[in-house]
Amino acid sequence: MILHVLGSCSGTEPMPGRHHTSVSLETGGKLYFLDAGENCSYTSYLLGIDQLRTDSIFISHTHMDHTGGLPELLWNLRKLCTLSPENEERLRGRTIRVFLPDLDVFDGVCKMLRGSEGNYETVFTLEPHLVEDGELLSSGLSVSAFHNYHLGTPAQGEPWRSFSFVLRAEGRQILYSGDFRDFSELLPHLGGSDLVLLETGHHRAFELCRELLHSGVPFGRVLFFHHGVEILRDFEGELALAREVLGDRVSFAGDGMRIEL
């Protein structure tokens, strides 16, 4: 598996050299996106990532710093088809799945796309899926979702709106936190993860490192992403504090980072 960080910043004011949260994952000859912050399409294309291999897009929650780039990503897939007959044939008849915890947002994105040129007529099909607790995908890449409390507890009868993901492929496991409220929400799903992606927009990295260490649960590397202003004001200092706890198992994400598992 190859993971690319396309955007490493939380929903702060614009930061030089950083874009909102998005990660891509390559496995089994297919491409998957985890969240779609602004510029995810632009960054992945310039990194040489083959967007025509896109199979599925997973959105943890629908805040703008996780969905702002979704319309452009879907628009660019259509645009790539117009560049050559070969591109068009590669996507002809394909289904690209879009998983969101609020399908009203998907409807809004589609309205934007249809308002662009060509009424967004495509040779491929977009297939929306509601994110709920449990297995979302089991073919090639296995993806399971579990709710977290980033957006609080929903009113009775209302669905959960914020999720974290566990991904498995090629004998490897990734825990992707999305935004979350408390480490205890992630703990039951942590065990055996070769890579743990944890957001720092609402947490101090060294404090999460301590919780990881004291959990007693086996895990591999830790990558902090979705950085908030506190981290970005003292990037090297915060990284040093985290490494005092977990050593070089810890990294802080930057846009364009590539990780092989």
Secondary-structure percent of the chain, ordered helix, strand, coil, rounded to 5: 35, 30, 35
Which pLDDT score is estimated for 242?
Answer: 98
Hey, which residues does 127 pair with through a beta bridge? Answer: 97
The tokens describing 248, both together, are 């070089």
Residue 57 has pLDDT above 90, yes or no: yes
The chain-wide mean pLDDT, for the chain, equals: 97
> Exposed, middle or buried, 207 (CB in 10 Å: 0-12/13-18/19+)?
middle
Residue 117 has pLDDT above 90, yes or no: no
175-206 pLDDT, tens digit per residue, is 999 999 999 999 999 999 999 999 999 999 99
Domains contained in the chain, CATH given: 2-260 (3.60.15.10)
